[in-house]
Chains A and B, each alone.
Chain A
Amino acid sequence: MLNTLTLMLLYQLGGELLVRLLGLPVPGPVVGMTLLFLTLLARGHVSHETREHVGSFLQHMSLFFVPAGVGVMVHLQRVAEEWLPITLALVISTFAGMAVTAWVIKAMLPKGADHAPGEQA
């Protein structure tokens, strides 16, 4: 577990460094993810142990959003005043975006590709 966490932190550090050195418009962790991905692609395999650790770490990823989410308190007045446009915008745009994305993939894949897992040949 400690190995995996250190690895993630080092790649994030690498990402942050690159962002600052090159003035990239993307956050450090995203660059770190790309760097780690390229490394894995070059190495060709991931140890079973690392995959397991990453799996259990990602399982709780939603927890990491909680502190920023509590920030809704600070904006409660604005959210209360503009609740109608905010609610409509959030709900409709989220599901419209989801539907458009899935439909485009479905339309472009060969027929019969839309199977549930387990049904594939």
Chain B
Amino acid sequence: MKPMPPAELWTQLTASPLLGLSVTLLAYLAGVWLFKRSGQKPLCNPVLIAIVLLSLLLWATGTPYQRYFDGAQFIHFLLGPATVALAVPLHAYWRRLRQMALPLVVALFAGSATAAFSAMGLAWLFGASPETIFSLGPKSVTTPIAMGVAEQIGGIPSLTAVLVILTGILGAMGFPAFFRLLRIRNHAMQGFAVGLTAHGLGTARAFMVSEEMGAFSALGMGLNGVLTAVLLPLLLSLLIR
């Protein structure tokens, strides 16, 4: 093979999924390493670090996001099977979940409404544009549901995806200190509240604390996803008309 000029080499490499996949894994591993090195400092959230590193890389090399995503979508795809896998911890804690069924259902409606309507209300109060307000509505639920809801209610699905992930990072970073402040120590309560407000990213962090917290988080995430998908478009169409 003839040697290739660097610029052409870069174009060829970014056209294959290999580069997008490798840099995503490398950035995430760097984030995990920093998180552990820092003694699990909330600001060293692995997802946050990975996103910052990758954005800087794309910006510095002038690579369009879409070209990066063409490769990285194989990692993105694993969100599907990961969601399915949540059935296993749910099943393991089913008896405890059932004992708490009534409080969980009431908390689900209260928490879900608080998260969605306070987000939209605050954004409206502080002068956000209508598209931003509606994109914020479903930001507490997992990415695929949130994007679908955003489309229905007049938000921008790809903006919602970003807001969903920022919410998840925020919730995952903040919940340990927040619950210490509130003096709530019960892992079941913490887990359900974290999954309900900070979906999969909160759930991933909750599993690091205990399997019980993870299972309750998975339940909160799943239930709020379904509730938001069914009720938010309906409620908004009633309110706005």
Contact = CB atoms under 8 A, between A and B. Distances in A.
Main secondary structure of the interface of B (DSSP, over half): helix
B150 interface: no
Interface residues of B, number: 118
Main secondary structure of the interface of A (DSSP, over half): helix
A21 interface: no
A97 B120 CA distance: 13
A92 B167 CA distance: 10
B196 A101 contact: yes
A66 B24 contact: yes
Interface residues of A, number: 76
Contact of A89 (B20, B136, B186, B208): B136
Contacts of A64: 75-76, 78-79, 82, 200
A98 B217 CA distance: 11
B114 A96 contact: yes
B24 A25 contact: no
Contacts of B68: 67, 70
Interface of A: 4-5, 8-9, 11-12, 15, 25-30, 32-34, 36-37, 40-41, 46, 50-51, 54-55, 57-75, 78-79, 82, 84-86, 88-106, 108-109, 113-117
- Please give me the 10 A-B residue pairs with the lowest Cβ-Cβ distance, nearest first: A97-B115, A101-B111, A93-B119, A108-B103, A67-B72, A85-B126, A29-B83, A8-B81, A85-B128, A101-B193
